[in-house]
Amino acid sequence: MNLIKTFSKELIAWHGVDGRQGLPWQNNRDPYAVWVSEIMLQQTQVATVLERYPRFMKRFPTVKRLAAADIDEVLAEWAGLGYYSRARNLHACAKQVMEQFSGKFPSDPLLLEQLKGIGRSTAGAIAAFAFHERAPILDANVKRTLARLFCIDGALQDKKVNEQLWELASSLLPAKPDDMPIYTQALMDFGATWCTSRKPVCLTGEKKCPFAKECQSNLSDQVLLFPQKTIKAKSPEFDCDMLLLRHGNHVLLQKRPSKAIWGGLWCLPESAWVAKSMARANDATPNLKDLLTLALPHQPVAPLLKICTQLERGENIKHIFTHRHLWIQIWNIHASKAHAFSSEDLKWVTLANLGQYGLPQPIKLLLQGLSQVRGGDLKNESAFR
């Protein structure tokens, strides 16, 4: 097929005029810098990465510095970007690179793929950008573009369809290794900005697609039928209670288990998440003893009850994850004493020091709001009552 032979040249020519230029991670052969940008760009908009990437690189300028950092420091820097397993994997991967590869990323995509958090497409991108290896990439935008160009039948989640796309992606690579960085960037940009999910340029008519005369879905007038869709189930909804336990300007935080959602982040003590259909009626107020038992099951409840008073309903926050919705009911509780029942995973933290902790975004916003309202220093306890 002619397009297979000409695709890389036409795409590189397109990038010279209409591709994204001047991104801080472009034209960089440092595999560490490429890797951080690739991980950050997964599931995060370019505009956000443009703001956060330089900050991350300033704080952790080398793989050695990142590997030596405390995981809490990494999670705190990642706060707000979501998908925290990426931050945990970055940290674990940096350690692997230091221990197994003496601090140098391997150039072989198969070895890169064995590192924590690096999938086949990311391995291809690092190998292509940093080492000019002829390795294909296949992110969601590229899958869509190829499925349209070649009218690939079947859902993208299907294993056989994926294999077919990987083969296609390999067959389209430019012959010269030195063209790999620009080609890879161009492929990413084309799918992200021109052959977009809902408004590809061939349908909007805003711009002239360089592949319009060869793209099989365009020629057969079926662009939006590719890639073929799978029917998504409705996102399940969950409920949980969180305790905002405060003493003056101190708040009690609990470290989440590393394998859970928001793994390794610091959060408010919370009850288990239950399906919304099983949850308590919205207007029912639980008693303090039950709440403390649910959220702090490893603490003896009698001493807790001695210092915890004034249960008050707080905000009800809806947080949307990719595959689920979580309703968080905040319960304000006054503690007559701070520094009681602290442990490795349970800490009293001052509002002014919250920045040192990686917090889930909704909890960060809630506590930042308190910090601003109270000026970070609640000397007058009655303000809380």
Q: Which residues, 23 to 82, sit near ligand SF4 by CB under 6 A?
A: none
The token pair that represents 20 in the structure block: 């994204």
Q: Does 215 bind ligand SF4 (CB under 6 A)?
A: yes
Exactly one of 147, 223, 295, 359 binds ligand SF4 (CB under 6 A); that residue is 223
Q: Which is nearer to ligand SF4, 215 or 351 (CB)?
A: 215
Q: Which is nearer to ligand SF4, 49 or 209 (CB)?
A: 209
C-beta separation of 251 from 367 below 8 A: yes
* Listed ranges 95-103, 211-219, 340-348, 368-376: which one lies at the site for ligand SF4 (CB under 6 A): 211-219
* Listed ranges 85-93, 95-103, 177-185, 208-216: which one lies at the site for ligand SF4 (CB under 6 A): 208-216
**Alpha carbon 233 to its chain's center:** 22
For residue 73, indicate whether it is catalytic: no
Nearest to 203 by CA among 185, 216, 222: 222
Q: Which is nearer to ligand SF4, 138 or 209 (CB)?
A: 209
**All residues at 6 or more sequence positions from 259 whose CB lies less than 8 Å from its CB, including other chains:** none
Q: One-letter amino acid identity for 18?
A: D
Q: Which is nearer to ligand SF4, 227 or 358 (CB)?
A: 227
Exactly one of 88, 148, 247, 256 binds ligand SF4 (CB under 6 A); that residue is 148
The CB-of-219 to ligand SF4 minimum distance in angstroms stands at 9
3-state secondary structure 26-94: CCCCCHHHHHHHHHHHCCCCHHHHHHHHHHHHHHCCCHHHHHHCCHHHHHHHHCCCCCCHHHHHHHHHH
Give the max Cα distance, the chain: 79
The partner residues of 250 in beta bridges, in order of sequence, read: 247, 350
Q: Does 201 bind ligand SF4 (CB under 6 A)?
A: yes
The CB-of-194 to ligand SF4 minimum distance in angstroms stands at 5
The CB-of-216 to ligand SF4 minimum distance in angstroms stands at 8
C-beta separation of 363 from 317 below 8 A: no
Q: Which residues, 160 to 199, sit near ligand SF4 by CB under 6 A?
A: 194-195
Q: Which is nearer to ligand SF4, 10 or 73 (CB)?
A: 10
Buried b vs exposed e over 17-51: b needs ≥16 C-beta within 10 Å? ebbeeebebeeeeebbbbbbbbbbbeebeeeebee
* Listed ranges 24-32, 99-107, 204-212, 278-286: which one lies at the site for ligand SF4 (CB under 6 A): 204-212
Catalytic residue among 38, 77, 113, 270: 38
Q: Residues 296, 298, 300, 305: what is their CA dihedral angle, to the nearest 10 degrees?
A: 0
Q: List residues with catalytic annotation.
A: 38
Q: Which residues bind ligand SF4 (CB under 6 A)?
A: 145, 148-149, 194-195, 200-202, 209, 211-212, 215, 217-218, 223
